[in-house]
Structure 1
Amino acid sequence: MHPAVKRTHELLLLLCMLGLQACAQQPAAKEPSLLAPNAIDGIALLPPPPAPGTHEDAIDVAAVKQAQLTRTPEEETAARAEVELFIDDFQPAIGPWFVESRLPKTWAFFRQVMRESKDITARPKDFWKRPRPYVSDPSIKPFKPEQSYAYPSGHSAGGTEYAILLAELIPERKAEILRTGRGIGWHRVVAGVHHPSDVLAGRVLGQRVAQELLASPAVQQKLAELRAEIAAARTQATSP
């Protein structure tokens, strides 16, 4: 082969290799956002928490102490299991087939919901900076101390969001799913890491997030896709 032709071939080969490498380094396509930026202002939506030193605050702290004293073994077990909250905590309300290996798209969707809604609760937490109940009263012993502030409860918000969305996907288990979502908030009081008013505020915020999501045509389209995945997983799980 003529040296000039050989060099041309080598140059073309090098350019092809560089092109392939550049393609391989391109980041994966990002999922479209489910929530518009600043769609929900938790500071504007929620009332302020009880002020420190007030009678209302004292009653809120006393309720945590009472919840810890009277908690059942079942409540304690659930509270400890829900420290790292996600939709697998709803499996007892739905069925043993409700697992990630059967429902990868469902799990991916709720992970995105979790990521996008996290800041919605973080902003009011950082705005009001309400101490955790065990900070106000050291006689309260939390299952696991938390680094963030108390109001509103992120677990209560997340449990409410997940419950409302899951009830849309699996309506025949709606009562059990909503009961589980409500329990997730209460178990944070049992665990000594939230006041009842934190939990109530979390429920309000979680309901607002769920309403925003359900109003989106793109989310409704996604839910239709997830219903098909859920139906297939349930059929596969019950087939002999």
Structure 2
Amino acid sequence: MKYRTGVAAIAGVLMMAACQANGAAPAAESASLPPTAQAEIGEMREGSGILNGYLGAQRLPDSAALLPPPPVEGSAAAMADLEAYQTTRALKDTPRWTQAQADNELKFPQAIHSYSCALGVGITEEGAPHLYTLMRRTLTDAGFSTYRAKQMYQRTRPFALLEEESCVPHEEEMLRGDGSYPSGHAALGWAWGLVLAELAPEKADALLQRGYEFAQSRMVCGVHWQSDVEAGRVMGAATVARLHSDPVFLAQAKLAQAEIEAARTAGAVPEGCGAPEN
């Protein structure tokens, strides 16, 4: 999908974004924007490393309305969740377990390294500031889209219910107080895959596979059930659908797409990715 927006329109919506997100310009200025539009899309919340999303709380999709309740204990669906979870226990201390631990990390730039590899372009603040900001802001929108249902159902996470170790023992105390259904990581990981697949359709398969596996890492990790992960993907897709009607997102997506194309033209490749993706 090509994001078509004129330079003047982009300038206007990015100036509006600066007001929305209380920010200043990305480190690398875009040559396609006039100086008055070189404003940062979001301001880091002090100490958190999280940017304001594009949608804001009032425009997020409502997970409590969109999703059915999680499986009832003792039901066939709950038994299927348990069986699926148990198949992942053999993965402990394997490379897949290590990947699940890496996929738990949401701090930037570590959070998006594997997506850079799938994209074949480095997603960095210096080299692709609009793409980098797009990833950070969509993380917020997709992740927080899950919280109404999380708070409504307060489902117990697998490691807590079964008294087993997760792949992130240092986070278990916090996770015990955070509802399992739906998965916020799955929502944002799938949203990232969808957005990047639109920006770089020639890499869509690799990017969507990365988004799918990022979500599956939550069950491998022992912190979510399969139905949590599947519901998270629904919310990720619902968030991306909402973003398609947001002029600021669309404007920044166009600039991010141009950064990807420029990096490809220059022959730039991300570091630390091993063999390039097909």
1:40 has 2:61 as partner: yes
Map 1:1-240 onto structure 2 (within 5 A).
28=23, 31=41, 34-35=54-55, 37-70=58-91, 73-85=94-106, 86-95=111-120, 97-138=122-163, 140-144=164-168, 145=172, 146-147=175-176, 148-238=178-268
| Alignment deviations for residues 167-205 of structure 1 (CA, whole Å, 9 cap, x no partner) | 111111000000010011111111111110000100111
Q: Match for 1:169: what amino acid?
A: L
Indicate the RMSD between aligned Cα atoms, in angstroms. Answer: 2.4
Q: Which runs of 5 or more structure 1 residues have no equivalent in the other structure?
A: 1-26
**1:152 positional shift:** 0.3
Q: Distance in 1 between matches of 2:244 and 2:62?
A: 17
Hey, which bits of structure 1, 4+ residues long, moved more than 4 A? Answer: 27-33
Report the TM-score when normalising by structure 1: 0.79
The answer on whether the counterparts of 1:87 and 1:162 sit within 8 Å (CA) in structure 2 is no
Match of 1:47, SS state, is: coil
Aligned counterparts of 2:59 and 2:251: Cα–Cα separation in 1? 22
Tell me how far 1:55 sits from its aligned partner.
Answer: 4.1
Structure 1 residue 114, shift from structure 2 partner: 1.8
Deviation at 1:123, TM superposition (A): 1.8
Q: Distance in 1 between matches of 2:251 and 2:153?
A: 37
* Segment drifting more, 203-212 vs 83-92: 83-92
Q: Which amino acid aligns with 1:122?
A: Y
Deviation at 1:141, TM superposition (A): 2.1
Q: Provide the aligned length of Structure 1 versus Structure 2.
A: 212
In structure 2, give the amino acid aligned to 1:91. Answer: S
**Structure-2-length-normalised TM-score:** 0.69
- Secondary structure at the aligned position of 2:223 is classed as coil
What amino acid is the match of 1:143?
C
State the Cα distance separating 1:233 from its structure 2 match. Answer: 2.6
The residue type paired with residue 128 of structure 2 is L
Partners of 2:60 and 2:103 lie apart in 1 by 28
Is the 1:42–1:205 contact (alpha carbons within 8 Å) kept by the matching residues of 2? yes
What is the letter of the counterpart of residue 34 of structure 1?
Y
Q: Is the 8 A contact 1:93 1:176 kept in 2?
A: yes
Deviates more, 1:96-105 or 1:180-189: 96-105
Per-residue deviation, residues 62-110 of structure 1 (Å, max 9, x unmatched): 3212212257933222111111133333122122634333112211122
By how many angstroms is 1:28 displaced? 4.8
Q: Larger radius of gyration, structure 1 or 2?
A: 1
User: For residues 28 and 45 of structure 1, do their structure 2 counterparts lie closer, same or farther at Cα, with a shift above 3 Å needed?
Assistant: closer
Q: Give deviations 1:10-45, integer Å, cap 9, x for gaps.
A: xxxxxxxxxxxxxxxxx7568486225244110000
Identity of aligned residues (%): 32
Q: Does the 8 A contact of 2:142 with 2:191 survive in 1?
A: no
Structure 2: which 5+ residue stretches go unaligned? 1-21, 25-39, 43-52, 270-278
The one-letter code matched in structure 1 to 2:54 is L
Q: In 1, Cα distance between the equivalents of 2:89 and 2:23?
A: 47
